[in-house]
């Protein structure tokens, strides 16, 4: 057993807990499409953005991305809106619920980097 093994075992357990949390609280991001949508929505904060901009930036098929959008809207993580002047134009934005979950996930991930990580550097 190396000196790093107990720390690595603890880290593996923490990674597993983070993955469990993500699957329980944000299952939509378990797909590449959902992950892309999450990143895109967080990047644009809660600003309303043209849906076409998302499709264009994703480089994936619109039908594939529509599934991710539907999953996010069903769980109130994103909101679809129509242009007041042109009902053909649609917009999407993240919701406060998405922001809250993302902040909670960030705290969980930050906990992975604290505590024992300093000890690993000291052992090297």
- In the structure, what pLDDT confidence band is assigned to residue 99 with cuts at 50, 70 and 90? very high
Query: Within 10 A of 72 (CB to CB), how many other CB atoms are there?
Result: 24
Beta strands in the chain (DSSP E): 49-50, 78-82, 90-94
Q: Which of 107, 98, 120 is nearest to 17 (CA)?
A: 107
Domains of the chain as residue ranges with CATH: 5-119 (1.10.10.10)
Is pLDDT larger for residue 13 or for residue 94?
94
- Asked whether residue 123 carries a pLDDT value surpassing 50, the answer given is no
For 63-94, the pLDDT digits (tens) are 889 999 999 999 999 999 988 888 788 999 99
**Sheet containing 78-82: which strands, arranged edge to edge?**
49-50, 90-94, 78-82
- In the structure, what pLDDT confidence band is assigned to residue 118 with cuts at 50, 70 and 90? very low
**Residue 30, C-beta contacts closer than 8 angstroms, at least 6 positions apart:** 22, 23
Q: What's the pLDDT at 98?
A: 95
Mean pLDDT of 42-46: 90
Is pLDDT larger for residue 8 or for residue 42?
42
- Asked whether residue 18 carries a pLDDT value surpassing 70, the answer given is yes
């Amino acid at each position: 057993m190396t000196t790093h093994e107990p720390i690595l075992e603890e880290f593996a357990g923490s990674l597993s807990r983070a993955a469990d949390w993500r699957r329980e609280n944000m299952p939509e991001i378990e797909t590449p499409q959902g992950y892309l949508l999450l990143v895109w929505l967080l990047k644009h904060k809660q600003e309303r953005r043209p849906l076409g901009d998302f499709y264009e930036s994703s480089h994936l098929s619109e039908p594939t991305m529509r599934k991710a959008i539907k999953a996010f809207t069903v769980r109130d993580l994103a909101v679809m809106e129509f242009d007041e002047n042109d009902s053909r134009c649609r917009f999407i934005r993240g919701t406060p619920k998405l922001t809250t979950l993302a902040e909670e996930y960030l705290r969980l991930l930050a906990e992975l980097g604290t505590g024992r990580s300093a000890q690993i550097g000291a052992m090297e």
